[in-house]
Amino acid sequence: MFELSLMCPEDRVEEVSDALDALDALSVSVEDADAQTDAEQALFGEPGMPPPKDGWQRSRVVALFASETAAREAEQLLAVQDFFTGCVVLGLSRVPEQDWVRLTQSQFAPVDITPDFWIVPTWHELPPQARRSIRLDPGLAFGTGTHPTTRMCLRWIARRGAASAHTENPLGRVLDYGCGSGILAIAAAKFGAIDIDAVDIDPAAVESTVLNAQANGVQLHAGLPDKAQGLYDTVLANILATPLKVLAPLLCSYVGEGGHLVLAGILERQAQELQEAYAPWIHLEVADAEDGWILMTATR
């Protein structure tokens, strides 16, 4: 296979992507060319925010082709199109042949959240020290336990569950807002929660949550955000700082008296702006930190 890489301004991404599809690209992906820099832009589709755009101000568009000839023909045809103005070809390169299934599996090893709580892909044996575990394979929805934001949420759930081990339902009624793969909701079930709502704006995430819950033998209610109703003892939201700020009044409205709010997807430098956004309703504090990310919690 061969990879054709292009740099496109935001207003050209859709046309270029459609043209690549028409030119028999095996796949087309778009990413922020300024990712991991101060110019990085996050795109969201949360309630109250504009719908996601097709690309970033500077988007890197990558297309895979079955042959070098097909990739070069696509490059030449794009170059003479009016809509290609402002776009630049970054390069054309061969993609090494690999066993993609084995490669993917090799990148996902069991993850220890605490010494006795593990996230384990289905192709691995359970570690002998794993008293609790979640079986989870990488998929379309975010949340495999490998990202610091997910690990910190899981640690909080594990510690809260262990600290209240004498209680039949230590986490109380739980809401996982922006559930992704459902990993946090499943973890809550593993630590005793029995009334769990997991919601997401993406139907694929809802489906993923349902399937992962079934695979782990736990009961929960998954659906779109309007599925969330009433007050909860534990509200979990592992999203990103910008949508978390927009969602502040909504998320706080779900936290019952004495309940806990747990937020992740926040960089260390964003702590104060999150505290200010939530100050009218609740006082957030930094509860955990890992690799530049923080976990913020509050008790009503």
200 is in an annotated binding site: yes
Q: HSE of 172 in the Cβ direction (CA atoms, 13 Å)?
A: 14
Q: What is the C-alpha separation between 146 and 109, in angstroms, rounded? A: 9
Q: Which of 6, 4, 10 is nearest to 27 (CA)?
A: 4
Does the pLDDT at position 119 exceed 90? yes
55 is in an annotated binding site: no
Q: Which of 157, 114, 112 is nearest to 295 (CA)?
A: 157
Q: What is the mean pLDDT of residues 122-148?
A: 83
Q: What is the C-alpha separation between 76 and 66, in angstroms, rounded? A: 16
CATH of 2-97, one of 3.40.720, 3.40.50, 3.30.70, 1.10.3470: 3.30.70
Q: What is the mean pLDDT of residues 178-187?
A: 95
The amino acid at 227: K
pLDDT tens string 228-259? 999 999 999 999 899 999 999 999 999 999 99
* Cα angle, residue 48 at apex, residues 47 and 53 outer, rounded to 5°: 80
Residues contacting 145, CB < 8 A, separation 6+:
111, 113, 119, 134, 136, 151, 154, 183
Q: What is the C-alpha separation between 71 and 64, in angstroms, rounded? A: 8
Secondary structure (3-state) at 271: helix
- Measured CA distances, 209 to 43, 140, 175, 183, 198 (Å): 22, 11, 13, 8, 8
Q: What is the mean pLDDT of residues 272-290?
A: 97
Q: What is the mean pLDDT of residues 105-119?
A: 85
Going by their DSSP bridges, the two strands 117-120 and 88-94 should be labelled as unpaired
- Measured CA distances, 95 to 1, 2, 89 (Å): 5, 5, 17
Q: HSE of 131 in the Cβ direction (CA atoms, 13 Å)?
A: 6
pLDDT tens string 15-40? 999 999 999 898 898 888 765 556 55
169 is in an annotated binding site: no
Is residue 47 very low, low, confident or very high in pLDDT (cuts 50, 70, 90)?
A: very low
- Residue boundaries of the structural domains of the chain: 2-97, 105-299
Residues contacting 96, CB < 8 A, separation 6+:
none
Q: What is the CATH number of domain 105-299?
A: 3.40.50.150
pTM: 0.68
Tokens 């990488």, residue?
138
Q: Do domains 2-97 and 105-299 have the same CATH topology?
A: no
- Measured CA distances, 105 to 9, 137, 146, 213, 270 (Å): 35, 9, 13, 21, 34
Q: What is the pLDDT of residue 34?
A: 64
Q: What is the pLDDT of residue 194?
A: 87
Q: What is the pLDDT of residue 104?
A: 63
Number of neighbours of residue 40 by Cβ within 10 angstroms: 11
φ, ψ of residue 178 to 5 degrees: the values are 85, 55
Q: What is the C-alpha separation between 34 and 42, in angstroms, rounded? A: 10
Q: What is the pLDDT of residue 45?
A: 43
Helix 183-190 and helix 148-163, axial crossing angle in degrees, nearest 10: 20
238 is in an annotated binding site: yes
DSSP letter assigned to residue 90: E
**Average per-residue pLDDT in the chain?**
87
pLDDT tens string 192-225? 998 999 999 999 899 999 999 999 999 999 999 9
φ, ψ of residue 58 to 5 degrees: the values are -125, 105
